[in-house]
């Protein structure tokens, strides 16, 4: 009996120590990287994102234009043409940024970024970017037809407003393998060109998989499981510690745009926090965050044939675009 009491007493002390550790050590760390905010930036007057338009774009990109990568040059050329047309809205100056990607299939090294400029050419620029290529011969509905569709819808919404700031929407080629992590990424080319021109970037927002929402969120870390919601019905704003103020601004705009919850991670580059185009702007000291549905942490269709348009939630995806629109207009003031 004494042995049992001693064992229970030790167990209680261990449990108390564990709870204390979580509350007094992990708690502040989690709050630091999450930086919860209840601030709300009012949504700017004017049109909101149209879920039907987003659905249509994703279907066309993921069905008619798939596969979308350098191994399928005709499909890729058709994708570039489709995006160029979609970004060519009133008030936009559209241009193609050509570059060579040596890891591409033989004869397909010439690749393209599509850039739409809005507002003033002067002053710091606010950039929203999304890659349009997809891995392998997969549809790539969430990855990343969703981000590309969001970019096209942003162009339409910006065309209906008077833009006084300096805004660029950029659709990137060559984000997926074998280009990821190399200077051949379309976003690396664009970021490098800005640095070479000596341009000032106020903020870069990367749209990386923005259409998949589920009732139960999965995580690859107990720390993430403790710090973030258990449902997968939120958008994530992901960046480094030095991007925390940008993340807070974006979340405030999301809070005021709709009822879609947005959370953030601002800290060391862990848990896949650098796994998209925003990483290339960091290389030049530019503030940048990724806006995502948490990609493979949530969407098990990632890089498979199951990543199809019917798996996405276009109503919530439209709310993501509204939040991004509000952030872009706020940041460009």
The pLDDT value recorded for residue 10 is 56
Question: What is the tens place of the pLDDT at every residue in 193-220?
Answer: 999 999 999 999 999 999 999 999 988 8
Helices (H), the chain: 2-21, 27-34, 51-59, 73-87, 147-159, 186-196, 222-227, 244-257, 279-282, 314-331
Using pLDDT thresholds of 50, 70 and 90, give the confidence band for residue 248.
Answer: very high
Task: Calculate the CA 26 to chain-centre distance.
Answer: 27
Q: Distance of CA 155 to CAs 93, 145, 172, 186, 253, Å? A: 11, 15, 15, 20, 18
Burial of 15 (C-beta count, 10 Å sphere; 0-12/13-18/19+) = exposed
User: Which among 1, 27, 35 has a CA at the least distance from the CA of 252?
Assistant: 35
The whole-number pLDDT of residue 221 equals 83
Please, what is the average pLDDT of the chain? 92
Question: pLDDT digits over 85-116, tens only?
Answer: 999 999 999 999 999 999 998 999 999 999 99
Give φ, ψ of 182 to 5 degrees: -115, 170
Q: Where are the alpha helices (DSSP H) in 88-185?
A: 147-159
Q: Cis ω on the peptide bond leading into residue 135 (within 30° of 0)? A: no
The model's pLDDT over 42-92, given as tens digits with 9 standing for 90+, comes to: 999 999 999 999 999 999 999 999 999 999 999 999 999 999 999 999 999
* pLDDT tens digits along 130-150: 999 999 999 999 999 999 999
Q: C-alpha distances in angstroms, 193 versus 50, 97, 124, 200, 240?
A: 33, 10, 15, 12, 22
């Amino acid at each position: 009996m004494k042995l049992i009491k001693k064992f229970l007493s030790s167990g209680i002390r261990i449990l108390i120590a564990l709870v204390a550790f979580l509350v007094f050590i992990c708690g502040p760390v989690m709050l630091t990287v999450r930086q919860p905010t209840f601030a709300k930036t009012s949504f700017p007057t004017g049109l909101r994102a149209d879920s039907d338009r987003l659905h249509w774009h994703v279907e066309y990109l993921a069905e008619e234009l798939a596969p979308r990568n350098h191994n399928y040059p005709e499909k890729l050329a058709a994708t570039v043409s489709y995006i160029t047309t979609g970004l060519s809205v009133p008030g936009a100056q559209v241009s193609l940024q050509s570059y060579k990607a040596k890891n591409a299939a033989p004869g397909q090294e010439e690749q393209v970024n599509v850039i739409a400029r809005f507002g003033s050419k002067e002053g710091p620029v606010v950039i929203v970017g999304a890659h349009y290529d997809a891995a392998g011969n997969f549809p790539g509905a969430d990855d990343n037809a969703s981000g590309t569709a969001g970019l096209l819808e942003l162009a339409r919404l910006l065309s209906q407003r008077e833009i006084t700031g300096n805004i660029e929407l950029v659709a990137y080629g060559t984000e997926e393998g074998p280009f990821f992590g190399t200077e051949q990424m379309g976003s690396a080319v664009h970021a490098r060109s800005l640095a070479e021109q000596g341009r000032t970037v106020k903020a870069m927002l990367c749209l990386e998989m923005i259409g998949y929402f589920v009732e139960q969120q999965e995580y690859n870390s107990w720390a993430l499981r403790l710090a973030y919601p258990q449902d997968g019905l939120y958008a994530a704003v992901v960046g480094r510690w030095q991007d925390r103020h940008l993340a807070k601004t974006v979340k405030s705009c999301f809070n005021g745009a709709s009822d879609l919850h947005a959370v953030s991670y601002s800290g060391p580059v862990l848990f896949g926090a650098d796994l998209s185009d925003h990483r290339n702007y960091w290389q030049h000291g530019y503030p940048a965050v990724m806006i995502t549905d948490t990609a493979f942490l949530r969407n098990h269709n990632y890089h498979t044939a199951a990543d199809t348009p019917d798996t996405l939630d276009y109503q919530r995806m439209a709310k993501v675009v509204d939040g991004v629109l509000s952030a872009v207009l706020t940041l460009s003031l």
